[in-house]
Amino acid sequence: MSGAVTGIATAPVQSPITIDFTEIPYNLQVPGTYAEVKGSLSNQGLLSYPTQGVILAPKLAAGTLAELAPVPCYGLAQAQAAFGLGSIGSRMASAWYASNPYSPLSLLAVPDAAGATASVWDVTISVASLGSGTLPFYVDGVAIPVTVTAGIDSADTICANLVAAINALPDCTVSAAVNATTLSEAVLTSKNLGALTADISVATAIHASDVMPAGLTVAIAATPGTGVPDLAAAWAAVSGQKFTHAALAWNDAASLTATSAEMERRFNAMVGLDCLAFAWANGTLSALLADAAAVNERFVFLLGGPGPLPTPWSAAASAAANAAFYLGQDPGRQLRGIPLVGVPAAPANDQFDPEERNALLTGGVATTTLDGTGTLHIERMVSTYTINAQGIPDPQWHDITQASVAIRVRYDWVNFAALQWPRPKLAPDGSLAAAYDPQVVTPRRIWSSWASRSRLYEQQGWIVNSAATAAQSVFQLDPSNPNRVNARQVINVIGNLMILAGQIEVAA
């Protein structure tokens, strides 16, 4: 029977190649069939990014955490014991876990400055024709109500009841005692030491709905604590450990300057321990702009408000936790609208208006807005970096997504390359060796992989114009070193819809 034979598979013509065995020896003499099994990276997707948060805060003497020795944290109870109940670190951990209970977190206790002192508040109670009601007292925005009964309570008894109510809250950042010589005066003392404790908010009637009992007067006189720790030494103690999002208890110039230097060091190509740091400061518009200008750092994010709430450390921890969670999922997506859960905020009348927030954003201060429930939401997360080394305004690292995408792309590419070419040989483009030996790479082959990864990054919504930026990218052999490829790899970070400007014309 004549005719072509069908249904028989034939192997395509293949060029001979060198097969590199890693388990079967080249000089094997024993008859048999042997087969190595190895994975293929031909369909390798994005590599998982290991977010790792860290809280830098002071501890109490009762805290179990050793100073300058970070430990992984597995829950709020551990953090409270580590820093001590009522500590700033404990409050930061509470804010972190309220916003993000999933991302890994480490705790780093920073030693107090030598001679550091606590902040003290003298709270003097006065009564005249007292009426019944509730004294609306607050510490760090947390209500500590004290019942007042006309005809029964005196200034002394109200003071004693206030002290008892404060001390009944173990995680309150202050302790209270009645002045031994003036029984109508309560003395509140911060549990932590240092200048940062002056940011603890001690106040009455902070909300419009708060009503003081008739005839009751509360006077509060504050004496701020002193002492700023050496944050450079704290960072040096963990210089080789990987953190991706750091929450700072401090917002002073020295601490932010030390953190800026560390963030830049970590971003260096020869270190590769990329980290973003977050702090909050309360103050006037001009003071906050001056704070940001003094830092001018692309990886330090300073949020700000007029105060006295929120407490800076809680807000910083919540911001860092949200950044770790949401940017860990999508580094290219803005954080607008993300709530700072469990962080008490100042009333609406005490918030910055849109014109003031625009000035803050222009000057490198991240902003928040307040919703109808009294919850703060991130409005726009910008870095303190506004001016380059030549003193020229530079918007390149303005939004947090710029840094986040660059960090993620570098992490993915570096680790993909390590997996793809664990111990390759290197030859020029067009080399006969590259045509036959799969263990030989060329600049063109590396470029091809970069182009494929760039396309993957665009598919994830991290970058745009990947075909064009891949074409602009260059991989070439070093003219003086046959073991090195030099590359210029271009990406175009995706934007975010933050402003929709339109003109609506009304037809006659």
| Residue 73, CA distances (Å) to 89, 244, 285, 323, 327 in order | 12, 15, 36, 18, 21
Same domain, 270 and 243: yes
pLDDT of residue 41: 67
In a domain, 370, yes or no: yes
Judged on CB neighbours under 10 Å (0-12, 13-18, 19+), 198 is: middle
The predicted model scores a pTM of 0.93
Report yes or no on 343 lying in a domain: yes
For residues 393 and 485, membership in a common domain is answered with no
Run of H or E residues at 278: strand 276-282
Helix H, strand E, coil C: the string for 327-367 is HHHCCCCCCCCCECCCCCCCCHHHCCCHHHHHHHHHCCCEE
> Are 276 and 365 members of one domain?
yes
Residue 393 has pLDDT above 90, yes or no: yes
Q: Does residue 20 contact residue 423 with C-beta atoms inside 8 Å?
A: no
Residue 414 domain flag:
no
Tell me, yes or no, whether 94 and 142 share the same domain: no
Final residue belonging to a domain, choices 341, 368, 402: 402
Please tell me the total count of domains within the chain: 3
Provide mean pLDDT across the span 95-101: 98
Domain that holds residue 354: 53-111+229-402
pLDDT of residue 20 exceeding 80, the answer is: no
Chain segment 187-231, per-residue pLDDT in tens: 999 999 999 999 999 999 999 999 999 999 999 999 999 999 999
Q: Which residues of 442-451 are buried (b: 16+ CB within 10 A; e: fewer)?
A: bbebbbebbb
Three-state DSSP class for residue 88: helix
Q: What is the pLDDT of residues 325-354, one digit of tens each?
A: 999 999 999 999 999 999 999 999 999 999
Residues 200 and 296 in one domain: no
| pLDDT tens per residue across span 24-76 | 898 998 988 888 887 776 667 899 999 999 999 999 999 999 999 999 999 99
| DSSP state letter for 196 | G
Q: Do 224 and 131 form a contact (C-beta atoms < 8 A)?
A: no
* CA–CA separation, 325 and 104 (whole Å): 10
CB contact set of 241 (below 8 Å; sequence gap of 6+): 70, 106, 273
Please, which pLDDT band fits residue 1 given cuts at 50, 70 and 90?
very low
Q: CA 243 to CA 324: how far, in whole Å?
A: 10
